Amino acid sequence: SAVGRGPEVPFRSEAYGISAIARGKELRLTLSALDPAAGPPAQDLVFRFGMSGSFRLCPAAELPRHAHLRFLTRESPPRALCFVDPRRFGSWRLGDAWQPERGPCVVSEYQAFRENVLKNLEDRAFDKPICEVLLNQKYFNGIGNYLRAEILYRLKIPPFEKARTVLEALKEQEQERRKKDPSLTLSKKVKLKQESPDLLELCHSVPMEVIMAEKQLLDPEHPDNYSSFKNWLRCYLVPGMSSLRDRSGRTIWFQGEPGPMAPKGEPRKAPRKKSPQLQAEPEAPSPKVTPRASKQRRRAAEKPPELEEKEVKEEQEEKEVKEEQEEKEVKEEQAVRPRKGRAGGRRTVRAAPASPEVPQSVRRSRRTSARRGTGEPGSA
């Protein structure tokens, strides 16, 4: 598209096919001519999706907004395979190379992924909380925000526990298991993993749940149908769970204590879903009623509207008379007060009546009445 930020794709062919392979959070498309002898050489594109990137197949006449790259079909009417990215965090680049700083894929390269983590536990990256390390694509290529919440929730691991503490314990357990039964068969190993999976195993199996059930969870024909995916979630965005922002600014959802490395501040708790009866009578805190508001409500309930209107007018007139009297007394006091230096010329913003013949209690009632009439703060 005209506003797309990605590079131009130097591939021109009247008839070509598209194949794809994924590795962690990257996807590689290969464009190849149906007639290799007459067409151009194959072209590879590697995509990163950011937070909102996706592919969508739609009629060419009904392109979605933010469709930054489009592949058109030759059928009639034509359709378009579009790379859609509303927030423009995604990107594509030419060539077949994966990003060098990304580790093995948690789904397609599980054994290499597991070894890459356990042999590098001395890396300073594992000094951070486990919830932050799970987003480090050098070691956990493919794990994102909702997956880390689901994995830690299933194992009841506090999200702000130190990553090395969690993973070193896992490494020790694996070594002890091998010592106890070195002749453990593959089928028994699989059974043990299914009965009590560890964190690295869940980093593989939880994404696989989404992939295997994508027709129900993320139906490409109904991208707006989010209910099935929400029902699958056990922790992420689930009412009743707590949440905190980690040091990278991402929100982690969890249950129970956050852990010793939690940032300062109390965790926020998502409101639980209320039953229809509770929705009809919500447990909202009652508004704070000031004495003045309470008095007005009682008056409104006890007196007819005509009488109430009459009293309001009388109070208004009384207030205006008292304000004039108070202003007059202030001016008289300013006129007789001696001026001393520069301060003598300053205007007095507020002064209490100084006439000795007026009792103090009367002066106080005048000020209170004036505030009630003008609606100053503190009148309630």
Spatial contact of 132 and 249, defined as CB atoms under 8 Å apart:
no
Interatomic CA distance for residues 179 and 168, integer angstroms: 17
Spatial contact of 76 and 112, defined as CB atoms under 8 Å apart:
no
Rounded to the nearest 5°, which phi and psi values hold at 300? -65, -35
Q: Does domain 110-254 bear CATH number 1.20.1250.20?
A: no
pLDDT band at 322 (very low <50, low <70, confident <90, very high): low
User: Which residue has better confidence, 185 or 95?
Assistant: 95
User: And the tokens for 152?
Assistant: 């830690």
pLDDT band at 62 (very low <50, low <70, confident <90, very high): very high
Percent of the chain with pLDDT over 90: 48
Q: Using one digit for the tens of pLDDT, what is the confidence trace for 81-107?
A: 999 999 889 999 999 999 999 999 999
Spatial contact of 258 and 242, defined as CB atoms under 8 Å apart:
yes
Interatomic CA distance for residues 157 and 132, integer angstroms: 13
Tell me the mean pLDDT in the region 114-121. Answer: 96
pLDDT band at 148 (very low <50, low <70, confident <90, very high): very high
- Rounded to a whole number of angstroms, the CA Rg of the chain reads 36
pLDDT band at 280 (very low <50, low <70, confident <90, very high): very low
pLDDT band at 365 (very low <50, low <70, confident <90, very high): low
User: Which residue has better confidence, 105 or 39?
Assistant: 105
pTM (two decimals): 0.64
Spatial contact of 89 and 186, defined as CB atoms under 8 Å apart:
no
pLDDT at position 311: 57
| Neighbouring-strand partners of residue 281 | none
Number of H helices, E strands in the chain: 12, 10
Domain assignments of the chain as residue spans, ordered by start: 16-94, 110-254
Interatomic CA distance for residues 147 and 361, integer angstroms: 70
Tell me the mean pLDDT in the region 262-280. Answer: 67
Q: Is the pLDDT of residue 139 over 80?
A: yes
Spatial contact of 106 and 24, defined as CB atoms under 8 Å apart:
yes
Range scoring the smallest mean pLDDT among 24-38, 64-78, 187-201: 187-201
Q: Is the peptide bond before 77 cis (omega within 30 degrees of 0)?
A: yes
pLDDT band at 367 (very low <50, low <70, confident <90, very high): low
Spatial contact of 170 and 151, defined as CB atoms under 8 Å apart:
no
pLDDT band at 5 (very low <50, low <70, confident <90, very high): confident
List the CATH code of the domain at 16-94.
Answer: 3.20.190.10
Q: Using one digit for the tens of pLDDT, what is the confidence trace for 302-321?
A: 445 454 555 556 666 666 66
